[in-house]
Amino acid sequence: MELGIGMFGDMSLDFQTNKYQHASKRLKEIIEEVKLADELGIDLFAMGEHHREDYAVAAPEILLAAVAPVTKNIRLSSGVNVVSSTDPVKLFQDFTMIDLLSDHRAEIMAGRGSFIESFPLFGYSLNEYDELFEEKLNLLLQLRKKENITWSGKFRAPIKNQTIYPRPEREIPVSIAVGGTPSSVLRAAKLGLPIVFAIIGGSPAQFKPLIDYYKDAYNKFGHDPQKMKIGVHSHTFLADSDEEIMKNYYPRYAHAMNKIGSERGWRGVYTPESFKAGMSAEGALYMGTVEEVTEKLINTIELFDIQQYIAHIDVGGPTHRQMMKTIELLASRVMPAVKKHFER
């Protein structure tokens, strides 16, 4: 059982001035938070990619390179790299360097991108959203397997008998992050790649058919069942009481959800009732006291029969103090209890 944390680099909002903290401050806070997670024995750190005013990290690979020399054991993953709007060759080079710097702890989590700001920024058309991902993912996987590359495609200049330097000293792990799209699940299963399901709304139980679909397809394509790896990535936050969460964290979470909702044309406003429903036993928010989150995690892992959970802990820009407390509670109390349960 593998338990990790994930971040998007959300910056804290000052509700008095309606301004976000400086990105320079948030980046330094993230480094301190990951150092704590490493010291306390958390298995994995996943860093997301966004190109917005409310997030501090546009390049996960730079943040991961920054934490590589100041950590010892925690594995360092993107969460995700938007492969569709990047150059796979440069991405492979960057992660090779992170892997060398970190003594082989780097991982790539590839995704199509639920946020689309990177497409116009880097000159790509959303009309080719899926085709871009398919082609660039396949190039990335070829770069992992072959030392000399000859390749041609639609969206990038051809490569003729090139070797990418520096050379990795192992095959860098690549996983696929998905939402609820069956075609994305099938792609990961066909390629025999580990998969991470982002579950951020509704009931986690609704994802069981998709997870079972991945398992069935993975086996039908003839991959080694012993190498199958399935993870879940969900919004997580811990405090001493639900009342503390409602008072000190809910306003930040609701602001973020309402901002994204207005941008995407979602109906309605995120309310305290919505938040409490998400925190309930059937909801998709892994938030509450140590006991509540531990029980919910155990139930989810048993329901899906999975090997990995990544706690997305910075949604809405909680304060640095809140982040450090969540990491401490996860590492010192929740994760040991969950692992002990599955060691029986």
Residues whose CB is less than 8 angstroms from the CB of residue 226 and which lie 6 or more positions away in sequence, other chains included:
none
Q: Which domains does the chain have, with CATH numbers?
A: 2-342 (3.20.20.30)
Closest by CA position to 37, among listed 78, 7, 80, 1: 7
Average of pLDDT values for 202-221? 97
Residue 197: beta bridge partners?
A: 178, 232
Q: Please give the mean pLDDT across all residues of the chain.
A: 97
DSSP character for 122? Answer: T
Q: List the structure tokens of 271.
A: 């309310």
* Residue 267's pLDDT band (cuts 50, 70, 90): confident
The pLDDT value recorded for residue 344 is 74
Percent of the chain at pLDDT > 70 equals: 100
* Residue 76's pLDDT band (cuts 50, 70, 90): very high
Percent of the chain at pLDDT > 90 equals: 97
71/103 Cα distance (integer angstroms): 10
Q: In this model, does residue 193 exceed pLDDT 90?
A: yes
The CA-to-CA distance between both ends of the chain, in Å, stands at 12
What are the DSSP calls for 147-194, one per residue? SEEEE--SSS--EEEEE-SSPPSS---EEEEESS-HHHHHHHHHHT--
* Residue 22's pLDDT band (cuts 50, 70, 90): very high
pTM (predicted TM-score): 0.97
125/137 Cα distance (integer angstroms): 17
196/203 Cα distance (integer angstroms): 17
pLDDT digits (tens, 9 = 90+) for 98-139: 999 999 999 999 999 889 999 999 999 999 999 999 999 999
Q: Residue 166: is the preceding peptide bond cis (ω within 30°)?
A: yes
The pLDDT value recorded for residue 12 is 97
> Do residues 247 and 219 lie in contact, with contact meaning Cβ atoms separated by under 8 Å?
no
The pLDDT value recorded for residue 268 is 81
- The residue count for the chain: 344
Cα torsion angle, 214, 220, 221, 226, sign: positive
Closest by CA position to 191, among listed 229, 234, 160, 155: 229
